[in-house]
């Protein structure tokens, strides 16, 4: 039986969350087609603010990669705007002529930013803050101009202003109301917020009405003019004055709209074959612009698309958080109060704390918190559930932990929260998700919870709550760090203790380590010997003699052992470049030794598969004679430096990425590491070399080079963290060498950069690499010193004299 056809118009958070929920409960019901007007895969729009602030990158906020669509057999059309719905024939038509038939249609067209209808609103330099293109325009302007004006002092406007400030601009926020975020905060809380933001360097112009954007001599906006006659300079103007549901497509198809696309409690429009979710929707007269209601709508819509028919959406109670690092605020419900309500208030301006809860008939109807928001989720749950608070009203302002033995909850302030309570609004993670991950995966730290659930990994405003969930779930185990894990059965010492002893006590041989640290076995084991061999080699280059017997068979044989016992051989190709002479030499070797398979690898090299063990010495002798060195595809070492063609050939390239990749590879090759290590250099932000999933990645931009660290492909993909941005190739080489040396000296053996970074924290790495310039220089010098010895390819020295019998002495196997 043919599958039903589901077409989704809108590749944003609401539409794709609906698809995710649908795939969970009815994965085989539909053949799914998705149209997205943007060129990007589904991303977390909430996190555009951290991207603007430089705290995250665009790859960091992608929710579903291109591979996810492929894995779920979703037909994805990016950069294609749907312009017409033929309801009679059940077909949607895109602007470029693409058409798709549907049995069910889901509209998730989102909203459009509202642009003030004033003179100059269409000038260059005037942008909204709605998508990645807007953020890229702002980042570009911040690198070229000085003065920014943000029109709108609401949630989005303040996040835009903070991001531009962090990008180095002088920012003024213009707001027509008497105080900031008047829809989310009362005046006392807003004043505390303003003081905090002014201390960070922002300027505020309140009760100002913008009437014109002034055109400069260059044709670009140069100033903002107000109704009272004042003006302020502006090289960039960001409009953040609100959004409007995007209903044009639905209206054009004759679907009933009132402010938004009108839907019932099953998220159906007036056409029962057409559903709608997200910011484009009007449900019971309300349109929502926050993520929590969108996700609730998604679950109900998926339930009905799956033909279960039991879910109902009855509206949402919403809460607000500001994604500005170092500022904690929370509000929900009717915090202003009014007739028939009572307000309980705690205010301590000197400590920056303010709490207000609004009650009606002893039930919470509103809350406004600034400074201490730890109990926000608890208040929100009381509000949403309509809980009678009369029996603990006296301590209500002081949070859940003061309930004591009243019978209304334990002292722990998260204990009574239901599993459905949302902890992380950015990623839609509830308490139950976190608790399950902690228990099932035996998590002990905040970083581990972040890695497995994404909670607290975005704006960070829920960090306190996540830590509270950790403490409650683990009990006594949380306050005490997990006991240290011995390096192996031969010793009670951990990896860190062994590394420190080798460094501090100048232990320069394996025997010295065994004797000094009182090893339980006289010669170690197959677990500790490779680690010790690496630690000694990394700490004492030029003094310690590499112990071949303490290496895995792949490193010993300079080939990757395959499942049939044969080996693969990968000669190094600098930056992925080659030439006819090298290709001819590889072809000659493949023919001479009857190599059964030759394959181009994902790292832009050529792999010779099925090589017999006894042929390895002779093959490497021939390859060495042709100028090749080992590609170390087998080793705990630098593997590849992937590049794109960059500015030399590509019309989008901003820098010579291939040339830089060659320099990086020649700088770092042959360097033994705790684990395999991969680099990449992309010539522009399109990132064709996939630099943001490498251990060290470089993304070339017009003004220099973005340096990314800690990425990882494979089964568990981890996108890199942005380390910094530099201006010259020399800086790229220095920062790369310093980062590698820090990793070499401090990571545990067999620990890749991703878990190492998560263990020590990005801030620690930034302190060592960015803030401590002399320390960075020293790391780079130690790296270069070690490379004098690391870049000796053993096959150049030993290929002629090595016979096949030597392979039989290997004691450590992969």
Q: What is the 3-state secondary structure (H, E, C) of 463-474?
A: HHHHHHHHHHHH
Phi, psi of 586 (to 5 degrees): -65, -40
The confidence score (pLDDT) of residue 413 equals 56
In a domain, 315, yes or no: no
What is the per-residue pLDDT for 484? 59
CA gap 702, 6 in Å, rounded: 41
Residues of the binding site for siroheme: 688
Which CA distances in Å does 139 have to 204, 229, 233, 688?
21, 30, 19, 21
Which residue, among 436, 440, 371, 366, has the nearest Cα to 396 in the 3D structure?
A: 366
Query: Taking all residues of the chain, what is their mean pLDDT, rounded to a whole number?
Result: 86
Q: With beta carbons less than 8 A apart as the criterion, state whether 588 and 526 touch.
A: no
Residue 602 lies in a domain: no
Q: What are 777's two structure tokens? A: 């220089």
Share of the chain above pLDDT 90, in %: 49
Beta strand ranges found along 266-328 (DSSP E): 274-276, 281-283, 319-321
- Confidence band for 453, pLDDT divided at 50, 70 and 90: confident
Q: Are strands 91-94 and 82-86 parallel, antiparallel or unpaired?
A: antiparallel
Which CATH number is 451's domain given? 1.10.10.1100
Q: Are residues 696 and 779 in the same domain?
A: yes
288 is a domain residue: yes
DSSP symbol at 724: E
Question: What is the 3-state secondary structure of 398-410?
Answer: HCHHHCCCCCCCC
Instruction: Based on the fold, state whether residues 534 and 446 are members of the same structural domain.
Output: no
Query: What is the per-residue pLDDT for 1?
Result: 62
What six digits make up the tokens of 234?
Answer: 């502006």
Query: Could you identify the residue written with the tokens 């996540």?
Result: 466
Per the CB < 8 A criterion, the answer to whether 431 and 298 are in contact is no
Q: Is residue 495 classed as helix, strand or coil in its secondary structure? A: helix
What are the helix (H) ranges across 610-761?
616-625, 657-668, 729-746, 753-760
Residue holding tokens 């080793």? 635
| Whether residues 645 and 764 fall in one domain | yes
Q: What is the pLDDT of residues 694-733, one digit of tens each?
A: 999 999 998 899 999 999 886 567 889 999 999 999 999 9
Is residue 383 a part of any domain in this protein?
Answer: no
Separation between Cα atoms, residue 438 and residue 433, nearest integer Å:
9
User: Which of 260, 279, 305 is where one domain is finished?
Assistant: 305
With vertex at residue 721, the alpha carbon angle to CA 715 and CA 724, rounded to the nearest 5 degrees, is 150
> What is the rounded CA–CA span in Å between residue 35 and residue 249?
13
| Cα gap 82→317, rounded to integer Å | 32
Higher pLDDT, 291 or 109: 109
Binding site for [4Fe-4S] cluster, by residue number, is 644, 650, 684, 688
Are the CB atoms for 598 and 789 separated by under 8 Å? no
pLDDT band at 463 (very low <50, low <70, confident <90, very high): confident
pLDDT of 778 above 80:
yes
Same domain (yes/no): 643, 772: yes
Q: What is the DSSP letter of 654?
A: -
Tokens (6 digits) for 667: 């700088």
Residues 468, 455: Cα–Cα separation, whole Å: 12
Residue 319 lies in a domain: no
Residue 368, φ and ψ in degrees, nearest 5: -140, 120
CA distance linking residue 703 with residue 726, whole number of Å: 9
Tell me what the mean pLDDT of segment 502-521 comes to.
Answer: 92
d(CA 598, CA 608): 5
Is 313 part of a structural domain of the chain? no
Instruction: Report residue 709 as tokens.
Output: 């660290």
Is 119 domain-assigned? no
Report the DSSP pairing between strands 236-239 and 147-151: parallel
Tell me: pLDDT of 601 over 60.
yes
**Binding-site entries:** 644, 650, 684, 688
Structure tokens at 701: 């931009």
Same domain flag for 643 and 524: no
For residue 581, what are its two tokens?
């002479």
Residue 414, pLDDT score: 66
Residue 358 β-bridge partners: 343, 366
| Beta strands 363-370 and 353-360, pairing class | antiparallel
What six digits make up the tokens of 304?
A: 């009905």
**3-state class percentages of the chain: helix first, strand second, coil last, to nearest 5:** 35, 20, 40
Which helix H or strand E contains 342, and what residues bound it? strand 342-348
Report helix angle 446-453 to 753-760, nearest 10: 130
Which of 7-21, 304-318, 396-410, 715-729 is the most confident on average?
A: 7-21
Query: What pLDDT was estimated at residue 407?
Result: 38
Asked if 219 and 147 sit in the same domain, the reply is: yes
* 480-489, 501-510, 602-611: range with highest mean pLDDT: 501-510
Report the distance separating Cα 551 and Cα 560, nearest Å: 13
> Could you give the dihedral angle defined by the CA atoms of residues 89, 91, 92 and 98, in that order, rounded to the nearest 10 degrees?
-130
Decide: 401 and 439 in contact? Cβ < 8 Å.
no
Residue 790 in this model has a pLDDT that exceeds 80: no
What whole-number distance in Å separates Cα of residue 135 and Cα of residue 141? 10
Whether the predicted pLDDT of 46 surpasses 60: yes
- For residue 461, what pLDDT band results from cuts at 50, 70 and 90? low
In the numeric block, the tokens 């470049």 are attached to: 577
Question: Which is higher by pLDDT, 698 or 550?
Answer: 698
Q: Are residues 543 and 652 in the same domain?
A: no
3-class SS at 733?
Answer: helix
Does residue 703 contact residue 654 with C-beta atoms inside 8 Å? Answer: no
CATH number at residue 755: 3.30.413.10
pLDDT band (50, 70, 90) for residue 293: confident
The label of the residue with tokens 């409960």 reads 25
Q: What is the pLDDT of residues 366-409, one digit of tens each?
A: 999 888 887 887 888 888 888 898 888 888 888 876 554 443 43
Mean pLDDT, rounded, for 459-471 = 72
Mean pLDDT score, 121-128 = 95
Do 81 and 18 belong to one domain? yes
Residue 259: Cβ within 10 Å count = 13
Give the residue among 171, 285, 181 at the shortest CA–CA distance from 234. Answer: 171
Give 27's contacts (C-beta < 8 A, 6+ positions apart): 72
pLDDT at 483 exceeding the cut of 50: no
* Number of domains the chain contains: 5
For residues 272 and 301, the answer to whether their CB atoms sit within 8 Å is no
Percent pLDDT > 70 in the chain is 92
Which residues does 526 contact at the CB level (< 8 Å), separation at least 6? 811, 812, 813
Give the per-residue pLDDT at 380.
84
- Per the CB < 8 A criterion, the answer to whether 14 and 110 are in contact is yes
Assess whether pLDDT exceeds 50 at residue 814: no
User: pLDDT-derived band of residue 426, with 50, 70 and 90 as boundaries?
Assistant: low
- Does position 614 have pLDDT exceeding 60, yes or no? yes
Angle at Cα 756 formed by Cα 751 and Cα 760, nearest 5°? 150
**Structure token pair of residue 322:** 């500001």
Closest among 503, 555, 493 to 745, alpha carbons compared: 503
Instruction: Mean pLDDT check: name the lowest of 21-25, 321-325, 641-645.
Output: 321-325
721 and 734 co-located in one domain: yes
CA gap 419, 409 in Å, rounded: 15
Residue 412: exposed, middle, or buried by beta-carbon count in 10 A (0-12, 13-18, 19+)?
middle
Instruction: Give the distance between the most distant pair of CA atoms in the chain.
Output: 95
381 token code pair: 């749950």
Q: Is the pLDDT of residue 797 over 50?
A: no
Return the pLDDT at 406.
40
pLDDT at 124: 95
Q: Which domain holds residue 507?
A: 495-550
Same domain, 637 and 735: yes
Which pLDDT score is estimated for 394? 86
- CA dist 561 and 634 (Å) reads 8
Co-location of 651 and 766 in the same domain: yes
CATH of the domain at 172: 3.50.50.60
E-assigned strand segments in 655-746? 677-682, 696-701, 704-709, 721-726
Judge whether 367 lies within some domain. Answer: no
Q: Do residue 236 and residue 252 come from a single domain? A: no
Cα–Cα distance measured from residue 418 to residue 382, given in angstroms and rounded to the nearest whole number: 11
240 or 405, higher pLDDT = 240
791 has pLDDT over 80: no
Q: Check: CB of residue 6 under 8 Å from CB of residue 305.
A: yes
């Amino acid at each position: 039986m043919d599958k039903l056809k589901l077409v989704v118009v809108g590749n944003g958070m609401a539409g794709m969350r609906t698809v995710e929920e649908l795939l969970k409960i009815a994965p085989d019901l539909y053949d799914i087609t998705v149209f997205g007007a943007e060129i990007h895969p589904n991303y977390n729009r909430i996190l555009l603010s951290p991207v603007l602030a430089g705290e995250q990158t665009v790859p960091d906020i992608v929710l579903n990669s291109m591979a996810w669509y492929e894995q779920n057999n979703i037909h994805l059309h990016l950069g294609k705007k749907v312009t017409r719905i033929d309801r009679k024939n059940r077909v949607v038509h895109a602007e470029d002529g693409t058409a798709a038939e549907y049995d069910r249609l889901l509209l998730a067209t989102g909203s459009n930013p509202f642009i003030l209808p004033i003179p100059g609103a269409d000038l260059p330099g005037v942008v909204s803050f709605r998508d990645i293109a807007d953020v890229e325009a702002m980042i570009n302007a911040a690198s070229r101009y000085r003065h920014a004006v943000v029109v709108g002092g609401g949630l989005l406007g303040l996040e835009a202003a903070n991001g531009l400030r962090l990008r180095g601009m002088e920012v003024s926020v213009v707001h027509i109301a008497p105080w900031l975020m008047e829809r989310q905060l009362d005046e006392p809380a807003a004043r505390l917020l303003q003081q905090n933001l002014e201390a960070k360097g922002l300027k505020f112009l309140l009760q100002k009405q913008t009437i014109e954007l002034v055109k400069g001599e260059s044709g670009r906006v140069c100033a903002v003019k107000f109704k009272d006659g004042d003006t302020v300079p502006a090289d960039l103007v960001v409009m953040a004055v609100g959004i409007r549901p995007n209903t044009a497509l639905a209206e054009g198809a004759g679907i009933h709209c009132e402010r938004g696309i009108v839907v019932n409690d099953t998220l159906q429009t007036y056409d029962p074959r057409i559903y709608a979710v997200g910011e484009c929707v009007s449900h019971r007269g309300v349109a929502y612009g926050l993520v929590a209601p969108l996700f609730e709508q998604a679950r109900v819509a998926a339930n009905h698309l799956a033909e279960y028919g039991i879910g109902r959406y009855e509206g949402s109670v919403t809460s607000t958080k500001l994604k500005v690092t170092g500022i904690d605020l929370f509000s929900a419900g009717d915090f202003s109060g009014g007739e028939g309500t009572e307000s309980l208030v705690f205010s301590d301006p000197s400590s920056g704390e303010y709490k207000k809860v609004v009650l009606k008939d002893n039930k919470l109807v509103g809350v406004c918190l600034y400074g201490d928001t730890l109990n926000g989720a608890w208040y929100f749950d009381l509000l949403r559930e309509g809980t009678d608070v009369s029996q603990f009203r006296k301590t209500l302002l002081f949070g859940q932990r003061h309930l004591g033995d009243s019978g209304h909850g334990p002292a722990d302030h998260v204990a009574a929260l239901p599993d459905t309570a949302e902890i992380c609004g950015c990623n839609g993670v509830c308490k139950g998700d976190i608790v399950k991950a902690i228990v099932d995966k035996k998590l002990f730290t905040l970083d581990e919870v972040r890695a497995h659930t994404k909670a607290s990994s975005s704006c960070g405003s829920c960090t306190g709550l996540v830590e509270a969930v950790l403490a409650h779930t683990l009990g006594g185990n949380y306050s005490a760090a997990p006991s240290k894990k011995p390096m192996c059965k031969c010793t009670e010492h951990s990896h860190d203790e062994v590394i420190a002893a080798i460094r501090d006590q100048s232990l320069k041989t394996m025997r010295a380590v065994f004797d000094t640290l009182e090893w339980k076995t006289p010669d170690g084991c197959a677990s500790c010997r490779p680690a010790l061999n690496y630690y000694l080699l990394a700490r004492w280059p030029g003094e310690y003699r590499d112990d071949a017997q303490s290496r895995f068979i792949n490193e010993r044989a300079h080939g990757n052992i395959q499942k049939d016992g044969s080996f693969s051989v990968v000669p190094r190709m600098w930056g992925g470049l080659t030439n006819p002479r090298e290709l001819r030499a590889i072809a000659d070797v493949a023919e001479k030794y009857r190599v059964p398979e030759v394959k181009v690898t994902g790292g832009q090299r050529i792999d010779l598969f099925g090589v017999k063990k006894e042929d390895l010495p002779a093959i490497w002798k021939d390859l060495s004679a042709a100028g090749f060195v080992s590609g170390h595809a087998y080793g705990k070492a630098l593997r590849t430096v992937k590049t794109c063609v960059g500015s030399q050939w590509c019309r989008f390239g901003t820098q010579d990425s291939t040339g830089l990749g060659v320099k990086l590879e020649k700088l770092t090759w042959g360097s033994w590491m705790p684990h395999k290590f991969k680099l990449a250099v992309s010539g522009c932000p399109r990132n064709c070399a996939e630099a943001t999933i490498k251990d060290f990645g470089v993304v070339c931009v017009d003004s220099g080079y973005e340096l990314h660290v800690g990425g990882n492909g494979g089964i568990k993909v981890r996108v890199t963290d942005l380390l910094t941005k530099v201006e010259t190739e020399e800086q790229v080489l220095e920062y790369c060498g310093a980062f590698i040396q820090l990793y070499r000296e401090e990571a545990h053996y067999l620990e890749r950069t991703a878990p190492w970074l998560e263990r020590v924290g990005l801030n620690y790495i930034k302190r060592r690499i960015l803030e401590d310039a002399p320390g960075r220089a020293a790391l780079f010098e130690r790296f270069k010193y070690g490379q004098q010895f690391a870049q000796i390819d053993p096959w150049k020295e030993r290929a002629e004299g090595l016979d096949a019998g030597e392979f039989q002495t290997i004691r450590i196997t992969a």
